[in-house]
Structures are given as structure tokens and as C-alpha cells.
Amino acid sequence: MASLFRTLAVLGTMAGMAEAVDLASYVLPLTGTQAGGNTFPGVSEPFGMVKLGPDMDTGPNATGSSYSGYLPGGAFFTGFSMLHESGTGGAPKYGVVSQMPVTGAPVANPLIRHADARGTSADVASPGSYKATMASGIVVELAASSRAGLYQYTFPNSTSNTNSVIVDVSHFLPAPDRAYLSQHYLGGNITVLSNPDGSGLQYQGAGTYNNGWNLSPAWTVYFCGYFDESGTVKTFVGSGSTGNTVNQFPAANTVSTSTNRLGAIFSFNSSTTTVTSRVGVSFISTTQACSNVNSQIPAGTNQTALAAQTRAAWNDQVLSKITTTDTSNTTRLQLLYSSMYHMLLLPQNKTGENPMWSSTEPYYDDIFTLWDLFRCTTALFHVLQPTMYEEFIRSLVDIWRHEGFMPDARSSFFNGATQAGSNADNVLADAYVKGVRGNINWDDAYAAMVTDAETVPPNNNDPRDPSGSTKEGRGALPDWLNFGYITRSYGRSVTRAVEYSVNDFSLYQVASGLGKTEDASKYLERSRNWRKHWNPSAKSLGFSGFLVPRTKSAFIQQDPLLCGGCYWKDDYYEALSWEYSFNAHHDINTLVNYSGGDTTFSDRLAMMFVPGQRPFGSAQFNNTIFNPGNEPSFTTPYLFNFVGRQDLSVQYSRAAADAYYQPTPGGLPGNSDAGAMESWVLWSMIGLYPITGQTTFLIGSPWLSDLTISLGGDKSLTITTTNSSYTSSSSSSSQSIYVQSLQVNGQPWSKSWLTYNDIFANGGRLDFVLGPNPSNWSAAGLPPPSPATEANSPPPLVLPSIVDRDRFSWRVARPVLATLASAVSATLVISAMYLCLRRRRLQLLSANGDQEQLPEVEAPPPSPPPLQTFTKKSLAVLKRLPRKAALLLMWPKRLLGLAGPKPTNVSVEADASVVAPADTTKDTAKQTATAIAVKSADSASDTGSDLTESSDNDAAKAASQVEAPAPVVLKPSTPTGPDAV
């Protein structure tokens, strides 16, 4: 009875909670703006087209990019623009339709840098409002609707200053560190006029730009702006598309389309200290831009009222979808609602603003990227925003109707960049198997998926990887269709093989539902092709069997702990073989079998979280193989559920969330990736994790004592937790994370998973009992399904292995070689300068007859030349370098008589084994014992070939030649993450 009363009390409290509590007060928009999170802290509605915020840099010679426009610390404001993205990488996009306030003397040259440093007051951001104070004393306050924005400037009091606002049509966010991706201004136009009654000023026009992270061609944005105070206006035109030379100032009131820089300056007398500007944008026309601003922000609207309107939109449309009565931990609530906020900034709803074609279908743009989002973000769209989710699916299909392919990523009305698979297929399959129908034409949707699976997209010759299309589709499809695997003829071959397998499983799911049995059989078989990259003889850290690159007849040996650059032309993209070897989630039983069975699979998963195992590049994560800052590792902590260790899924997922997620500016483990990181921690807090393309949800452990998720209509999912060892001690309560028992919809539950229909389709209820110690509550239940695994799956493929001499070894050694070469060069230059100066001094003394006046000192013993000393000290290092690096550095040794004859061939033998420790509080890994023997093989010809035939036992991986240092457990520092593209 007590339990019943408690349940009724919770439900009654939750019913009115959205109205009683301003959930937006828990949102901290500055979360994730530092340490590579790249989130946008400015103003936007949910999925809003306008994102009004600051554009900043670190100075006139800045070498880095500000992806969302914002930068922390001692940065400079260069403008406040209408269009941005959030949590992106690669190169910035947008930062256009800008205004920049200035005060002081009248502006003589509007094209020179007019940046203003951040003032002493910190930026203030909340849903609907952003405020910045600049060093000049100008205060900028922003608010926005979905397609228009409002600027409010407060200038410092002065009787002599001229207060002005510069509108520079050529302004955009550059990428000085990646010029080939950087945006460009291509041209524009502007018209200015005063209101007939003299009450204000107006301007309208357009700007055309290109490029950005998706290498898009030219796109045009139209603008229409108003200043609600009287003043003067002068247009200007530069002498080119770049540079700061003014050609006309003032120019005519209408500056026709020009490729030169252009814009206008709006000036107000010193008595006008508050200036308000309303600006609308459109991708269709200036007329539509004016309509957008006048309908959404009519004259007389103030910043406070508009900010409140946008705040209400966030409360009503987003934040109220998850409510709780557990307000005991404010930090957790801030993390919950800040994550929801940032997850729903992108994609942008541009329905009615698509200049490419006319359609009655919805249109969503700025998708960054489905490679990042398909694992767990789109499934949360479905739960929290079902109407938007259906519209988004329809938009993907409509893009295929008009452009021939669905996007894996898209921005400024252009597909790209596709990082690996055609992952829109996974998104569509996930929607289909969970019963999303509505107005989606599933025949067309399936045809779009078949296009991805069967049609080779034209190569867009992306300099990041010119081997195949990065714009759309599957660029490595020829190999996939011809061989059932992907060779190194294409970049990211292993990553693509795994993802193409998942993509084909997605086609199987939809084909099965549509009754296309022949197609279903074909794609199910193709979904198992990841197995053709599994080398059972590949070894690492005491475990056997990993995904590797291959030729038509052999596996290519590599160290699974290395991935070269982990970039576009490499075998693996943004993750190691260790990580991708856990990514065939549709065929997980085969993966477990290939890995050695349940126990070995569990041990192998645990090794992912042992500090000190990754050789380099992950210090912020204690050098674990598991990388919380990149999506290929997202599902890994939950895979213990497949082998009867749900407790370990809770242990490792909660540890990662606690260590790397906080509602602070540096509180993300890497680039937000348009909300992907935030969606991962949201699922952790809910206590579930989706397997995309299936109806399966893996069970974790909820963070709050109660949670209600609104599913649309009258449906909801209620989640409660009871602490089995509850005490008044908060510390004791916080340790109770392990599931002791679970009831689903009032019935006892013994499985570590459930389905969409169990709790989401019609609503449901989960009642957890948690405790401080692991339990085997789900041991008797069936494991999660593995739908692509046959009843008797075949053993792994056995092929010969060939040694990859250069692909990894050379890239690992290249920085070492560069350092050594720099040291040699510096030594030679310094020695030469010293000798020249000494010789000159002796010549001058001799000429002056003063040579005999030199003081007599005891000559020091002769020392070896600096280069000889350097090469002796480096001899051991040279022996460990791969062959190319060693040969390049042998020449100085030979000149000094330190080297023997040139070897005709060099091979390396290594035998390494590491045993996973039972207790990670002690030494976390055994030292790699490596015996290196450098042999001369006169019979081998030096052909320069990258690959040499060898057996698995004799082949050594280049990066394992250097003995690994003992791992050091580091306290997690402020995390950073690599760019998504």
C-alpha cells in the first residue's frame, strides 16, 4: 500500500511539474564550449534556422578555427552573425549576415579589422538570450526566433563618441588551419534607405559563399534588417573579395551584385546609447527575409519579450519531455537539461527555405553527421520528438528524390561529407522496425536505400580522400559488390567494411517488412561481409582476432593498437581496430564466437577500459582503448549485456559518464558532434541504450529516483529506482548503481534487454531496485538477440598474412625522424655560425696586430663534432626505426665513420604478450617484452614494396618494436576530442 501511495504521489507531482518548474533554468548553454566541444552558446529555437551569436578569434594572426563562432578566454569579437552550427568539426560553417558595433571616432575604413576584446564581465547565456560585454564598454544582448534575430546594443555614455554598427556582407567564419576547407566570400549586394518618417533605417541584400566542412559549392543567403532608431547610413565597396582597401566610401544607396567586399555603416549620435536592430534571413529571397522578420519580430518587440518567448519554446517543446521529482542533485539536472538543449540545436528545420526544389515535403538541413548521430541520437529524436523525427525521415527521402542520394551529412543544401557508410540507411531501418509510418512513403524510402546499396556515386575528388566519393552514397561500393570486402584501393577500408555490413543489415530489415524476400536474403548475407576482414591470427594484449585491412588474397598485418592517422586515407577512421572489432552489433553472436566465447569476450571488453593500453593520443582518457570522445566506442560499454555481465555494463558506462561529462564549459569528452555526445549521456541517465536498426534496448542503470518521459499523445514511460540499501547518507545512496531486480510494466523481468514495443510503443513502466554491489539478476534471462547470426555460423576466414612495412611504421616514425632531422639541422647551423664568427674575430685581431694579446689559457681536450655526438647518442633509436627512416639517417653516420656497410634488407622479429590483470588497482598491464633482431638478408632485393609475404608468427608490427612504458593512471583532465570530419 505504501508503494502505491508513493507511486500516486510521484505521478501527481509530475503531472503539473512542467508548469510549476522553469526547466530552462537548469540549462547552461556554455556547456561544451571549451576543450574542443565546439557547442554554440548563442540564441536559437529548437532546430531553428537562425542561430544568432558571436564570431570570435584569438587575434589578427589567428591560426585556429572557431567552429561555432564562440571562443572562451581572452578572445576578440569580430561580429555577431545570424547563422551558425553547433558542435561541428573539420572547418567552420556560416558566421554570415553579421553586425559589429563600434564606438569612438567616426569609422574611416570599414574594411580594416574592428575587433573588440572581451570585457571584464563574463558572457551570460540562457535559452533564448545571450549577453556579451566588450572591452570598449559596449554591451550586446541577443534574442532570436526561428528565422529572425534581434540585436540590442548599449553603448557607453559619451558626449564625443560616434556609435556605429558595421554590416559587412563579406564576413564569415574562416578556417586558417585548413585552407582547403575554409569558406570564401564570392559576392553580394546591399541596398540601404531611411524610413519615410525618419524613425529608423533599413537594409537588405544578399551574400554568396562556398565551402566549409562539407566542401559545398556556392550558396546564397538573403537578409532584411531594420534599426529602430534614427541615424545615418553609408555604404562601402572594397577593391576585391579580400583585403582591406576601400574603393568607394560612401558608395551608392544600392550597391549592385559585386564580387568585391561591400556593406554599410549605420551611425548614431552620442546621445543614442541604446540601439535595437531586427534582422530576418532567407535562402529564397530578400522579400521572404523581410516577411520572416516582420512576422516573427515585428517593430516594437523588445529583447526581453523575445527571449522569454524562445525560452518558453524550449520549455514546452523540449525540456518538459523529461521530468522528475528528484531535485536532490542540481548538477545532474543541469547535465540532463543542458544535454537535451544542445542535442536539439541541429539539424535545422528549413522547410519552405529550400532554394533547390519546390516540394510539399519537410526539409531539414545542416546534418552533422549521421555517422555521428545514427548510433544513439536519432533513436532519442524518435522518443523525444516523434513529429520532428518523422519529418526528418521524409526530408531524407525527398533529398534522394531530387538529388539521387540520401545524405550521410548535409549543409547549405549540399550532401557531404560521408565519412564511411551510407548511414541514412540505418536511420530509416530504425524508424521502420519501430513502426514509424505516418506520411512516410516507405516504397520510396526503400528505393533510396537500394540506391545506396547498388549505385556507385560519382567521385567528387575530395582532397581528404580522392579514392571515391565523400559526397554521398558508398564510395567504395565497387569493391563491396565485386569482392564482398574492401581493399586498400579505397580509404577507410576497414571502417567502411564494418559500416557497409550494418547498412546492408538495415536494408534486410526494411526489405523483410515490405515482403521483398529475395532482397532480404541478399542483404542479410551481405551484412555478414565484415567477417571477411576478421583475421583470427591478429594478436594484441593477449587476445586474438581483430578486424584488419586486406588484399584479394591475404590479410595485412598491423598492430590493432595503431591506426596510422585515423583519418580519411587510412584503414580506420577516428578509431582503432580494437574499437571497430566490437562494432558488428547485428551479428554479435558471431563476434563473441570469433573472440573466444563469452568469458574471453567479457575480458576483452574489460581491457578496453584498462588505463595505459593505448600507446598515444588518449592521455585525457587515461590512455584507455575505449574513447568516450568518438562514436565508434559509444556502444562498447553496454556489450557486456550480451554475455551475461549486465553489472559490468553499468560499471563502465557509469564510470565514463561520471569522469567525462559535467555541465561545465569543458564538460564534454570531445567534439559535441551536433549533440551525439549529449545523447550518449542522456541514454546513460535514462538507464537504457538503443541498438540502431533493431528494436532492442540494452538495460543500464537510471541515475534519478524517478523519471517520466512524454512519448506524445497520452503515452509516457515512467522509470523509478529504489535503493535496496537506502540510508540517510548521500554518499551511500550515490554508490547504489547496480541493478538488483527489475519490473517491466509491473511484471518481474530477468532479461538485460527489452524492446521498443515493451515500453515505448504504447508507453510503459520500469521499476528498478538498485544496490551498491553487482548482482546476477539477469543471468537466467535470454541474451539480447543477434539477428544476423546463423544457427551454425562458419568459422573465421583463414588467409595468409603479409607484413605492412610502411603504412603504420612510417607514420609512427615520421615525427621521430622529423625531430632528429631538425636537431641535426640546428646543430649544423649553430656550429657554422660559431665557426664563422670565431674566424672573423681571429682575422680582425690578426689585422690589428693584436693576436699576441690574446690571453693564454689551457686548451680544453678535443671534443667530438656535435653531429658525431648526436649520432652516437641516437644509434639505439636508429636501430628501432623502421627501415626507411633508418636508412635516411644512416648517411651522417657513414660520413663520420660510425656506420658499417649498408644493409641490403632489414627485418624485425618481435614476440609480445600482455595478460589482462585481474585487479586494475595494481599494475594495469604487463610490460611488453620485445626482442628485436636486425638481420642482413643479402638475397632479398630492395624493391621498395610496401608489403612482404610472411607468416603471422614471424611478422612484427612496426609500432610494437619499441618497448611500451609502464602505464600511468592519470586523473582525467579537461578532455578534448578530434574533429568529426
Q: Is residue 325 part of a domain?
A: no
pLDDT at position 735 = 84
* Runs of H (alpha helix) within 231-374: 286-296, 303-317, 330-343, 370-373
% the chain with pLDDT above 90 = 77
Q: Residue 192: what are its φ and ψ, rounded to 5°?
A: -125, 150
Tens digit of each residue's pLDDT (9 = 90 or more) over 366-378: 999 999 999 999 9
Pick from 358, 348, 450, 425: nearest CA to 391: 348
Q: Is the pLDDT of residue 530 over 90?
A: yes
Q: Residues of 743-776 as b/e, b for ≥16 C-beta within 10 angstroms? A: ebeeeebebbbbbbebbbeebbbbbbbbbeebbe
pLDDT at position 11 = 45
Q: Is the pLDDT of residue 969 over 60?
A: no
Tens digit of each residue's pLDDT (9 = 90 or more) over 157-168: 988 899 999 999
Domain containing 142 equals 23-317
Q: Is residue 169 part of a domain?
A: yes
pLDDT at position 195 = 83
CATH number of residue 117's parent domain: 2.70.98.10
| Residue 197 pLDDT grade (very low, low, confident, very high; cuts 50, 70, 90) | confident
pLDDT at position 878 = 39
Given a contact cutoff of 8 angstroms between Cβ atoms, the answer to whether 580 and 547 are in contact is: yes
Q: CA 90: distance to chain centroid?
A: 9
pLDDT at position 815 = 57
pLDDT at position 196 = 79
Q: Is the pLDDT of residue 805 over 90?
A: no
Tens digit of each residue's pLDDT (9 = 90 or more) over 543-593: 999 999 999 999 999 999 999 999 999 999 999 999 999 999 999 999 999
Report how far residue 503's alpha carbon sits from residue 91's, in angstroms, rounded to the nearest whole number.
Answer: 27
Q: Is the pLDDT of residue 50 over 60?
A: yes
Which range is least confidently modeled, 125-139, 714-728, 777-791? 714-728
pLDDT at position 838 = 72
Q: Is residue 972 part of a domain?
A: no
pLDDT at position 833 = 75
Q: Is residue 475 part of a domain?
A: no
Rounded mean pLDDT of 822-838?
A: 73
Tens digit of each residue's pLDDT (9 = 90 or more) over 75-115: 999 999 999 999 999 999 999 999 999 999 999 999 999 99
Which range is least confidently modeled, 321-335, 512-526, 842-856, 885-899? 885-899
Q: Is residue 6 part of a domain?
A: no
pLDDT at position 910 = 33
Residues in the chain: 981
Tens digit of each residue's pLDDT (9 = 90 or more) over 456-491: 999 999 999 999 999 999 999 999 999 999 999 999
Q: Is residue 582 part of a domain?
A: no
Given a contact cutoff of 8 angstroms between Cβ atoms, the answer to whether 156 and 312 are in contact is: no
- The secondary structure of 507-532 as a DSSP string is HHHHHHHTT-HHHHHHHHHHTTGGGG
Q: Is the pLDDT of residue 750 over 80?
A: yes
pLDDT at position 751 = 98
Summary mean pLDDT of the chain: 86
Q: Is the pLDDT of residue 732 over 80?
A: no
Q: Determine the 3-state secondary structure of 611 from DSSP.
A: coil
Rounded mean pLDDT of 146-163?
A: 95
| Domain count along the chain | 1
pLDDT at position 964 = 33
Find the helix or strand (DSSP H, E) in which 391 lies: helix 386-403
| Residue 846 pLDDT grade (very low, low, confident, very high; cuts 50, 70, 90) | low
| Residue 450 pLDDT grade (very low, low, confident, very high; cuts 50, 70, 90) | very high
pLDDT at position 511 = 98
Q: Is residue 123 part of a domain?
A: yes
Tens digit of each residue's pLDDT (9 = 90 or more) over 608-663: 999 999 998 899 999 999 999 999 999 999 999 999 999 999 999 999 999 999 99
Q: Is residue 646 part of a domain?
A: no
Tens digit of each residue's pLDDT (9 = 90 or more) over 201-249: 999 999 999 999 999 999 999 999 999 999 999 999 999 999 999 999 9
What radius of gyration do the chain's Cα atoms show? Answer: 31
Tens digit of each residue's pLDDT (9 = 90 or more) over 880-894: 444 334 434 333 333
801: its cell numbers:
598474412
Find the helix or strand (DSSP H, E) in which 141 lies: strand 139-144
Q: Determine the 3-state secondary structure of 189 from DSSP.
A: strand
